[in-house]
Amino acid sequence: MKIYTETFTIKTSRRIQVIKVTEYVEKIVEKSNINEGICHIFTPHATAAIIINEYEPRIVEDYIKWITEIFRPGGGWRHDEIDDNAHAHLASSMIGSGRILPVSKRSLVRGTWQEIMLIELDGPRERRIMVQVLGE
């Protein structure tokens, strides 16, 4: 089995923001020269998350609305006493820091409307995304 690893960074510009990163990941999968396997996309941060779903302006607004409603920034959380970002930790822990996609014929397997997105939950910051492609 081969493993190919590459990390890239994204500068975010808002507190809660959705950024499409599909193209970055697809280029890495291509470079990996792995034909069949899996691709793990991971962000090593406690206040960011990775999702796979549709990237369309209205649903992107809905992701942000949903995160704000469920995780309530400034909602009286204990951790807000330390650094005012409890909502970001809660959302990151529930949504998840990574996702796995199949790789076949040297490319990512994904549905027409499935894009890979970084969710910034406590920006603006610089975020790292690590991509590991495993297979043959």
16, amino acid identity? I
> Segment near Zn ion (CB under 5 A), from 6-14, 76-84, 97-105, 123-131?
76-84
- Binding of residue 92 to Zn ion (CB under 5 A): no
Number of H helices, E strands in the chain: 4, 8
Lookup: tokens for 39: 């691709």
Q: State the minimum distance, in angstroms, from the CB of residue 85 to Zn ion.
A: 4
Closest CA to 60 of 11, 123, 101, 120: 120
Lookup: tokens for 25: 């990941």
**Out of 23, 61, 83, 126, which residue is the one contacting Zn ion (CB under 5 A)?**
83
Which lies closer to Zn ion via its Cβ, residue 83 or residue 126?
83
Which lies closer to Zn ion via its Cβ, residue 43 or residue 85?
85
